[in-house]
Amino acid sequence: MIINILWILLGFLLLVGGGELIVRGSVAIANKMGLSKALIGATFVGFGTSLPEFVASFGAAAKGEDAIALGNVVGSDIANLLLILGVSAFIFPLVVPRNRLGLDFFFVMLASVTCFFIIYFGVLPIWLGLVLFAVFIVYMTQLFISDKNELEGDVVIQNLAMPIALFLSLIGIALLVFGADFLIKGSTAIASDFGVSEAIIGITIVGVGTSAPELFASIMASFKKENAIAFGNIIGSNIFNVFAVLGITGIVYPLKDLGGFTLWDGAILIAATLFMFLFAFTRKRISRLEGFVLICAYIGYLAYLILRNSA
């Protein structure tokens, strides 16, 4: 028990430290390269914090655990849209970057609808994996073309040399990945000791655990009032999870056995996407009240999953 508690404490320390480093490093990279923090948040931070999802989904597919591979992505994307965005906005209202909001909405909604239809048909063949990865390349191209170096929120110039900024960011990503692993390891062991079922552990601890890097990166960005990085991290993570993680996984290990899902899982993901952008489009910001609503929606979704699995 004591060793597991230590794993959890170590995990939290690494997550906090990693979140601090990746925000500092990414802001400096944006300043040095003349790129917007929204772009850096959606690419470098968003993709970096999605490494646990990539490792988990690719590894599960390699073992023939197709449902876990897809469930990890769907669960993580829902957690990003409801829990992580909600917590970030509750800490400090998020001013949403305006210059790419329409582009972001299109690709995130496309990602959510794609998950819905994968659940509906129950397979992810090689050809679809190729299409998903091609869409990811198109998104990346459009992202850099549309970037207008519009800095959002209070700008804090990081006077760091590029090598140091890159080093801090990479160390931050590594700490986030290892921190999430330690957090999941300790929490899962303690939950098992108390007789909690594997299904509940997977839905709650593992599901939130793989999204812990995004959570702590966005929380640290919110505390620093780096709105563009907090919001971009969530957008980039969701797009990366579907088009890159599922795309690459589907190309190498086509998913054929996707039982255990219901269309409600896909519908909730689409609804979460709609609510996020509805809040973002109204006043170009997500308020504390709206963040609280998103958090409550995530708690409701967890309750639904627990009841569904116990039925």
3-class DSSP state of 285: strand
Distance between CA 245 and CA 118 in Å, rounded? 14
- pLDDT tens digits in sequence order for the chain, 311 residues long: 678 777 777 776 776 677 667 666 776 776 666 666 666 666 666 666 667 677 777 777 887 777 777 887 888 889 889 998 898 888 888 777 666 678 888 999 999 999 999 988 888 999 999 999 999 888 888 777 766 544 444 344 456 677 777 787 788 777 777 776 776 677 667 666 766 554 455 555 666 666 666 677 777 777 777 666 777 778 888 888 899 889 999 999 888 877 667 788 889 999 999 988 888 887 777 888 998 999 999 999 888 877 876 76
Examine residue 302 and state whether it is found in any structural domain, yes or no.
yes
C-alpha torsion angle, residues 293, 299, 302, 308 (rounded to 10): -80
Distance between CA 59 and CA 64 in Å, rounded? 9
Which pLDDT does position 57 carry in this prediction? 75
Q: Domain containing 53 — which CATH number?
A: 1.20.1420.30
Report pLDDT digits (tens) over 180-213.
Answer: 677 667 766 766 676 655 445 555 566 666 666 6
How many residues make up the chain in this entry? 311
Which pLDDT does position 68 carry in this prediction? 74
Q: How many CB atoms lie within 10 A of CB 155?
A: 14
Which pLDDT does position 99 carry in this prediction? 67
Examine residue 42 and state whether it is found in any structural domain, yes or no.
yes
Q: How many CA atoms lie within 13 A of 308 on its CB side?
A: 13
Examine residue 284 and state whether it is found in any structural domain, yes or no.
yes
CB 220 within 8 A of CB 42: no
Examine residue 79 and state whether it is found in any structural domain, yes or no.
yes
Examine residue 24 and state whether it is found in any structural domain, yes or no.
no
In sequence order, which residues have a C-beta less than 8 Å from that of residue 276 and are 6 or more positions away? Answer: 81, 85, 108, 286, 294
Which pLDDT does position 49 carry in this prediction? 66
3-class DSSP state of 310: helix
Examine residue 11 and state whether it is found in any structural domain, yes or no.
no
The total number of structural domains that make up the chain: 1
- Per DSSP, helices labelled H in 198-283 are 198-201, 207-210, 212-223, 227-239, 247-252, 263-283
Query: End-to-end distance of the chain based on CA atoms, in angstroms?
Result: 30
Strand extents, DSSP E, the chain: 94-95, 285-286
Examine residue 292 and state whether it is found in any structural domain, yes or no.
yes
Report pLDDT digits (tens) over 127-149.
Answer: 999 999 999 888 888 777 766 54
Helix (H), strand (E) at residue 225? none
Examine residue 12 and state whether it is found in any structural domain, yes or no.
no
Range of the domain at 237: 37-154+191-310
